[in-house]
Amino acid sequence: MAVIADAGTEAATIYQVHTDHLERPIMMTDSARNVVWRATYLPYGEAYTILGSTTLDQRFPGQWFQLESGLHYNWHRHYDPTTGRYLQADPLGMPDGPNRWTYVTNSL
**Domain map (residue ranges) of the chain:** 2-86
Is the pLDDT at 101 greater than 80, yes or no?
A: no
Is the pLDDT at 7 greater than 80, yes or no?
A: no
pLDDT in tens, 30-88: 999 999 999 999 999 999 999 999 999 999 988 999 999 999 998 889 999 999 888 98
Give the Cα separation of 108 and 52 in Å (integer): 33
DSSP state of 14: E
**pLDDT attached to residue 35:** 97
Q: Are 84 and 106 in contact (CB under 8 A)?
A: yes
pLDDT in tens, 10-20: 777 899 999 99
**pLDDT attached to residue 97:** 61
**pLDDT attached to residue 105:** 62
**pLDDT attached to residue 78:** 94
Helix or strand (DSSP H, E) at 27: strand 25-29
